[in-house]
Structure 1
Amino acid sequence: MIELPPSEVLDVGRRAFLRIGTPADIADRVVGDLVANEVVGVRSHGILRLTDYLQDAAAGLLDVAARPAVTAPGGAVRVVDGQGGFGVLAADAVTANLCELLTVHPVCAVALTNAGHLGRLSAIGTAVARHGGAVLGFVNYLGAGQRVVPWQGEDGRLCTNPLLISVPAEPDPFVLDMSTSTVSEGRIRQHWLDGTTVPGGWLVDAAGAEVTDPDRLYSDPPTAFMTPLGGDHGYKGFALGVAVELLAGVISGAGYVRADTDRRGNGGLFIGISPALAVRAGDEVLREVGAVRSHLEASSPAVHWPGSGRTSGTDTIRLSQRRWRTLLAHADGKDPL
C-alpha cells in the first residue's frame, strides 16, 4: 500500500477521464466526489469506483459526456433521466429538483431513471434537509447486480437496494443512508481489492453456509452471495429490499430485477416532505428533532446521531501500488496493467 495526497489522486483521475472524452466540468465533479468520499473514510464509494467507471465507459455502458434531462409530468412531480451518464450528476439533479419543488409543494416526488452509479445517497438527504425538507429515498440497480440472496433463497436475486431517510436538524441533519443487505457491495469489493477476507455473516453459499472469501462473490458464476440485512432475522432486510425494488424500479418505471434483464445503473424514487405538510414551522421542527436527539444521546456518550461524525479524517489516500499503476496507465493513455 502507498499513501498519496488527495490533490495527486484528483489530478490523475481527472486526466484519465479527460483522455476518454469527459468534459472538464464533469470530470472535476466526478473525481472530486470520489476523493471526498475517500477522505472521510467511505472507501466503498471512493477511488475504487474510479476504475469501475473507466471500465464501464470502455465497455460502452457509461456515457461520459451525458448530462441529465428533467421532465415535469405533474405539478409536484419531476423525472430525472440520467441519460446513461455519471450518477453523481443525476444525484445533483434530484437534489436540485427536490429543493425547488419543496418551496411550493408540501409533498413532492422525483423519479430517477437511466443513471449511472449514484454513490452516497446521504449527499442528497443532507442537502435537502439543510434546505428545510425531509426525504424518503429508494434506489435499485435496474435489474443488474443481483448479488443479494433472498431470505432462504439459494442464489442472488436482488441488488443491495439502499434507502435514504433524512430530516432537518441542527447542527447535523438526521441522515440514514443504508443498504438493505448486511453491508454495501463496495465494502466487500474493498476487501476483494485489498486481498483480505470478509467478516462472517456478509456472504453465504447456496446452502446458506458462511463464506469469508470475497473472490467467490465475483467468480463467474458466483459461488457466494450477499446476505440481507438482519442476520438471523434476515427476512426483515429481505422484505425491505423487495420494498425498495418495487418503489425504485416499478413505481418509478426505471426497471426491475428479472431473469432476462440486460440493463444496469440506478433507478429510484425520492419523496420530499415539507414541515408545511402538517402546518409546522421550520424552527418548531428543528427544536423538537433536537429534543429527540438530546434524549437519545443522554443514554451514553457512545450514542451516535445518524448523519453526524463524518469529518475530514485523513490527509492521504491509501491505495495498493497495483491500483495506482492502473490509474496512472489510464491517465497516460497506456494499457492498464
Structure 2
Amino acid sequence: MKSLALLKRYDWQKLQQFCTEVFIRAGVDKNHANTVADSLIQADLRGVDSHGVVRTAIYLERIERNMMNPFAEPEIEMEQGPTVLLNGNNNFGAVVGSKALDIALEKAKEQGIAVVGVKESNHFGTGAFYALKAIEKNMILLLMSNASQTMPPTGGKRPFIGTNPLAVGVPAGKELPFVLDMATSVVARGKIIVAAQKGSDIPLGWAIDKDGNPTTDADAALQGSVLPVGGPKGYAISMFIDILAGVLTGAGYGKYVNNMYENWNEPQNVGHFFIAIDIERFMPLDLFKERMDRYIQEIKAEPKADGVNEILIPGEIEHRLVIERKKTGLELPEKVENELEAIGRRYSLKLSDALIDSCYSNQKKEAVN
C-alpha cells in the first residue's frame, strides 16, 4: 500500500490563493501578486511543473535580497507606430510580460500588427500563459524570451546561451487552438532542476557535465549544460531569439543575462519579444477559424503510424492535463511542499488549507491498495 503522503493533492484555486497571499504579505501589489501566482499555477496545470509553484521560493528570495523590484512599474521607453520598447524596471517577469502583452494586443488592434521589445525583466514563466490570453482576444501571438547561460553553442562545451523559449498561439473555431511553447534545448533546464530535487536521473541526451561528457546525473547536468534541440538547428534558433529579445531590445544577451539562482549582485535583465497579429486584417475572423478547424481536422485524420492511437496538435496534451488536474488536484514534490510550508509559516499561512479534503484522499488510498 502506498503511503498517504504520496496521495496528497492540492486544489489549484486554493493553491493559487495561497501563493497570491504569500506575495501580498511580502509587500507585492495585490494585482501583481495575483498575476504572478496565476502564471505559476497555470504552468503546473499544464504539466510544466518546472515553471510552476516550484519558483515561489526563488522569486521571494530575489525580492528579499533586492535583486528584483516589485514596486517599480514597467514603463514605455520608446514608441513609434506599431513598435514599442518596454522597460520592465526589474519587476516580476510575469508582470512585465503581461504589460507587454496588453500593449501588443492593443497596438495590433489599432494597426494590424504590433512588435513589443522588452528589457530589464526577469523570468516570465511559460510562453503559453501569454499565448492563451492572446487567443482569448482572437489574436495570433509570437513571443520569445532569452534566459541565462545554460546551453553551449554547437561545438562548445560550456554554457553561453540560454534555453531561449519560443511560443506561438493561434485561435481556432470548434477545434482546440494551436499552442506551441518550447525551449530551444532538448528539455527546459527547469525539468533538470525538478529531477535534481527529486533525486531522479535524467535521460541520456538531455545534458552534458562540466567537462562536456554526456550525463544522466541531474546534479552533474546542472553543473554542466543542457543541449540544444536538433543540434546546430536549435543552437541557431536560440541565438536568433537572443538577438531579438536581447541584443535588439538593450536587455542582456548571452553571458549578460544573469542567473537568478546564482547571481546575487545584479538583476537578471532578461529580454522578451512579442509580435501580435490581428487576424481580421487578412480575412474575416469566422472564415479564419473555419479554415483553422479544417486544417486541424485534416491533420488529425491523417493515417497513423503503427502503435499510434491519435495524432495530436501542439498544446493538446497540455489542454487535457489542465482539465484533469483541475478535477483531481495538483501534486507537489516533497521538497517543494516543504519549501511552501516553511514560507507559509513565515507569513502566517497554512499550505494545508489548499489540500483537497480527506474524503478524496481516502478514496484514492482504497484505489491503490
Q: TM-score range by the shorter chain?
A: 0.7 to 0.9
* Partner of residue 341, structure 2: 328
CA distance in 1, matches of 2:234, 2:257: 25
Q: Is the alpha carbon distance of 1:260 and 1:175 closer, same or farther for their aligned partners in structure 2, counting shifts above 3 Å?
A: closer
1:193 aligned counterpart, secondary structure: helix
1:21 aligned counterpart, secondary structure: coil
CA distance in 2, matches of 1:123, 1:326: 24
Q: Considering only aligned residues, what root-mean-square deviation do their CA atoms show, in Å?
A: 2.3
Does residue 37 in structure 1 map to residue 40 in structure 2? no
Given that 2:158 and 2:225 are in contact with CA atoms closer than 8 Å, whether structure 1 keeps it comes out as: yes
Q: Is the alpha carbon distance of 1:44 and 1:259 closer, same or farther for their aligned partners in structure 2, counting shifts above 3 Å?
A: closer
Given that 1:134 and 1:272 are in contact with CA atoms closer than 8 Å, whether structure 2 keeps it comes out as: yes
CA distance in 1, matches of 2:271, 2:257: 17
Q: Equivalences for 1:2-13 in 2 at 5 Å?
A: 2=6, 3-6=8-11, 7=13, 9-13=15-19
Does residue 313 in structure 1 map to residue 327 in structure 2? no
The count of corresponding residues between Structure 1 and Structure 2 is: 323
Cα deviation digits, residues 49-91 of structure 1 (max 9, x gap): 1112112122221223333223452021122322211111122
Cα deviation digits, residues 185-234 of structure 1 (max 9, x gap): 1111111111111111111135543111111233xxx2x2100001xxx0
Q: Equivalences for 1:267-282 in 2 at 5 Å?
A: 267-277=271-281, 279-282=282-285
Deviation at 1:8, TM superposition (A): 5.0
**Letter matched to residue 109 of structure 2:** T
Which runs of 5 or more residues in structure 1 are unaligned? Answer: none
Cα deviation digits, residues 127-167 of structure 1 (max 9, x gap): 223323222222113xxx21111111110011110112222
* Partner of residue 240, structure 2: 243
Q: Is the alpha carbon distance of 1:163 and 1:10 closer, same or farther for their aligned partners in structure 2, counting shifts above 3 Å?
A: closer
Q: Equivalences for 1:126-205 in 2 at 5 Å?
A: 126-141=132-147, 145-170=148-173, 171-205=175-209
CA distance in 2, matches of 1:135, 1:288: 18
**Letter matched to residue 136 of structure 2:** R
Q: Equivalences for 1:263-302 in 2 at 5 Å?
A: 263-277=267-281, 279-299=282-302, 300=304, 301-302=309-310
Given that 1:125 and 1:166 are in contact with CA atoms closer than 8 Å, whether structure 2 keeps it comes out as: yes
CA distance in 2, matches of 1:10, 1:186: 20
Given that 1:130 and 1:173 are in contact with CA atoms closer than 8 Å, whether structure 2 keeps it comes out as: no
CA distance in 1, matches of 2:166, 2:313: 17
Cα deviation digits, residues 211-259 of structure 1 (max 9, x gap): 11111233xxx2x2100001xxx01111111111111111222221147
Given that 1:136 and 1:270 are in contact with CA atoms closer than 8 Å, whether structure 2 keeps it comes out as: yes
- Quick one: percent identity of the two aligned structures? 25
Give the structure-2-normalised TM-score: 0.80
CA distance in 2, matches of 1:167, 1:212: 36
